[in-house]
Chains A and B, each alone.
Chain A
Amino acid sequence: MFSFRRLDSVTLRWPREARPSKGARGPSFEARRKGGEHLRMTLWVWLGLMASTSIAIAAELGHFGYGKSASPAEIAGWDIDVRGDDGAGLPAGKGSVNQGAEVYADQCAVCHGAFGEGEGRFPKLVGGIGTLKHDRPELTVGSYWPFAPTLWDYINRAMPMPAPHTLSADDVYALTAYILHLNDIVSSDFVADRDSLPKVKMPNRDSFVWIDPRPDTMAKPCMTACAEPNDVKIMSTAEGRNLTPRTTGPLDTMQPK
């Protein structure tokens, strides 16, 4: 069976404005995968009619040919994702807890606090283990995140906030090791790399349900006398709570006036 790439390079060398477009509904890729014979025949018809630049023939092919193939080098530059549960995509490199402490002090402590306690409203990275059933649970890397490789992935793609995706792989490994250690999940001699990180068992790993159980309420569309009027009571009100910014005039900074 012809691959689309070869077909493209052999035949589609028309001026761009003359290149074919396709009808709204071409064959599905499933159908095309099974349709090698059909495709070969289509190609002969195509070659026979090339001079007429028939739009109908292009529609048969189910292929527009716009853009260019992404090269391995181009893909490598952007292919940054690391899969959380098994670490697929983790690059070469490594980093220790001690190295991480240095990078952390330079790059992270200003927002996340010297020991991951969080400055102001910036996220806490540490603590809260065992609080998830509490009235005020504390959700941190240690108490909530299910997968250690996700931490590597997030630091790498999004941190530090003013200059995201600028740290070396080694530095990201070191930071990951340090933050895991701050949460007492790994020992002080832990070295993070593509082999060790997926083996780290996060405390909350098994507490996630990945299939949505909704709808989980079964309200009935009652129309009259749906409740005892005397039972309808106001349990809470936003009145007088002083949490609401104003909704007229200029933006409200909510600084003391």
Chain B
Amino acid sequence: MRSEFWRDTPVVSKLARPRNPLLGRRSFLGLSAALTGGLALGAKPGRTETPIASPPADAPWSQSIGPGVVDRPYGRPADTEAGVIRRNVPWLTAGTESSISFSPLQDLHGIITPNGLFFERYHAGRPGVDPDRHRLMIHGLVERPLLLTMKDIVRFPSVSRIHFIECPANGGMEWRAAQLNSLQFNHGMIGCAEWTGVKLSTLLEEVGVKKQARWVMVEGADGAHMNRSLPLDKCLDDCLVVYAQNGEALRPEQGYPLRLVVPGWEGNVSIKWLRRIKLGDRPWYSREETSKYTDLMPDGTSRGFTWLIDAKSVITFPCPEKPLGGPGLYEIRGLAWSGNGKVTQVDVSADGGVNWQRAQLHDPVLSKALTRFTLPWRWDGKPALLESRVIDETGYVQPTITQLRKQRGSNSVYHNNSIQTWQVKPDGSVFDVQLS
């Protein structure tokens, strides 16, 4: 059932208004049934539809023949979805080659990000890699330095895993104050996909890691030769060297033909266009892990090697891009995730964090993957402050921005996993705000 139908006030007004407008996760089924009945008895069609396509008239597309198969050999979204695209913030970076784009979370449904809408982060633009000439070198403290072609890599035992990748700068523009009035621009540096490839541990067993090895350097074939250091333990635990995303070859934007996926850790360590893996006894302290992707504290010290993505959640409906259409029954929807494992609980508040109600989590609830949550909400047309708060399987509770600032000040740029507050105004419009 689509949310627009619930705005049908004659039906909704028949329903008893509970004391707490957040309706609880089990109360919604009954309401939906009541609504369906009401609609079937004679609710009017949506206002936005062109009259000629509405009953009793037949629609033009119902009285003609459409293009045949392979008219679009590789499919694409409907023309009317043309505005659902990755977008950038032009004032954020000097150019687009070393920059970031944001995924349109406000128009996405479910836990899987479509490949064409997965956020981009480049350090030297998007390289055009020829898969036939691409090589993966594994060397350093190994018994048998190896050079692999893409054909070699695909022969290894394959695994598929669903994981999110989030840039640690997601929400980074909001450390000082609410700045960007947008779900896309405040939270869109994240995507979740089914990744297929070979376990990094399989490749490391193949080359034989020497006893003194403790660290692994991973490097891309892009112009930045982007490189990061990773502890060997993490590489042996759950890292993947992948060639496919959501069932097809990686897109060039996502590292075609080969990338690393480091589940639950900040996105930039999941090196794209992966060409080299070197084992060593100590970290490399590359530019990207010293001058960038380190967190400056108020006392002038900096935290390095802050890889973990702490638990985070956000309400994706309503949001600034998807305001409310008038008082009535709505389904609050959102996403939650944790780099530490599974999401165990999400709570929603409509009063700025004074009272909370547990939202329903939707299957599948996977480790280090986006998890969907919903909660029915009867909006009475009064001002509201909507928030969501996630708890993960380690018991970690998503903090407020005030709690984060108390620990880290406001110059750390990265790892802002604070609770997002959406201010709902009486006209249904929604704004990004921060609370005391």
Contact = CB atoms under 8 A, between A and B. Distances in A.
Q: Do A and B come from one complex?
A: yes
Nearest to A72: B145
- Main secondary structure on A side of the interface with B: loop
Interface residues of A, number: 96
A92 interface: no
A157 B225 contact: yes
A146, A164, A216, A238, most chain B CB atoms within 10 A: A238
Interface of A: 3-5, 21-24, 26, 28-29, 32-33, 62-64, 66-70, 74-75, 78-85, 111, 120-122, 132-133, 137, 139, 141, 144-147, 150-151, 153-154, 157-158, 161, 164-165, 204, 207-229, 231-239, 241, 243-245, 247-249, 251-254
Q: Top 9 A-B pairs ranked by shortest CB distance?
A: A84-B285, A236-B177, A154-B287, A238-B181, A157-B225, A219-B397, A217-B399, A121-B94, A70-B145
Contacts of B13: none
A209 B94 contact: no
A150 B303 CA distance: 17
Nearest to A27: B205
B434 A67 contact: no
Contacts of B34: none
A122 B180 CA distance: 22
B90 A212 contact: no
A204 B408 CA distance: 18
Nearest to B345: A221
B147 A254 contact: no
Contacts of A224: 355-356
B61 interface: no
Given A147-B285, A154-B287, A212-B305, A232 B87 contact: no
B270 interface: no
B304 A208 contact: yes
Contact of B185 (A214, A236, A245): A245
Contacts of B205: 26, 28-29, 32, 62
A137 to B, nearest CB: 6
Given A121-B91, A147-B285, A252-B90, 5 more contacts: A75-B145, A145-B290, A164-B223, A214-B415, A231-B436
B130 interface: no
A216 B408 contact: yes
Interface stretch (B71-79, B306-314, B361-369): B306-314
Nearest to A234: B433
Given A3-B143, A29-B205, A207 B351 contact: no
B45 interface: no
A64 B206 contact: yes
A249 B397 contact: no
Interface in B379-411: 385, 389, 391, 396-400, 403-404, 407-408, 411
Given A78-B275, A147-B285, A251 B391 contact: no
Interface in B154-206: 155-157, 177-182, 184-185, 204-206
Contact of B287 (A22, A63, A74, A153): A153
Size range of the interface on B?
Answer: 35 or more
Interface of B: 83, 85, 87-91, 93-94, 97-98, 104, 106, 123-124, 137-139, 143-149, 152-153, 155-157, 177-182, 184-185, 204-206, 208-209, 211, 217, 219, 223-227, 275-276, 278, 280, 282-287, 290-291, 294, 296, 298-308, 310, 320-321, 345, 347, 351-358, 385, 389, 391, 396-400, 403-404, 407-408, 411, 415, 423, 431-436
B179 A238 contact: yes
Given A164-B223, A209-B301, A247 B106 contact: yes
Contacts of B358: 223
B398 A219 contact: yes
A82 B227 CA distance: 11
B125 to A, nearest CB: 9
Contact of A226 (B179, B353, B399, B436): B353
Contact of A150 (B285, B353, B389): B285
Given A153-B286, A234-B435, A161 B178 contact: no
A68 B147 contact: yes
A223 to B, nearest CB: 5
Contact of B178 (A28, A216, A225, A238): A238
Contacts of A147: 285, 290
Contact of B307 (A67, A83, A212, A243): A212
Contacts of B400: 219
A221 B391 contact: yes
B83 A158 contact: no
A84 B145 contact: no
B276 A236 contact: no
B403 to A, nearest CB: 5
Nearest to A131: B300
Given A66-B155, A137-B296, A158-B223, A238 B433 contact: yes
Contacts of B148: 66-67
Contact of A213 (B286, B298, B303, B404): B303
B105 to A, nearest CB: 10
Contact of B211 (A33, A150, A164): A33
Contacts of B302: 132, 144, 204, 207-209
A244 B285 contact: no
A32 B209 CA distance: 11
A164 B124 contact: yes
27 contacts: A29-B205, A67-B148, A69-B144, A69-B146, A70-B146, A74-B137, A74-B147, A78-B276, A81-B284, A120-B94, A121-B91, A121-B94, A132-B302, A150-B287, A154-B286, A207-B300, A212-B307, A214-B310, A217-B407, A221-B391, A226-B354, A227-B353, A229-B354, A234-B423, A237-B178, A237-B431, A248-B83
A228 B225 CA distance: 52
A7 to B, nearest CB: 10
Contacts of B301: 207-209
Contacts of A225: 354-355
Contacts of A241: 179-181
B90, B285, B399, most chain A CB atoms within 10 A: B285
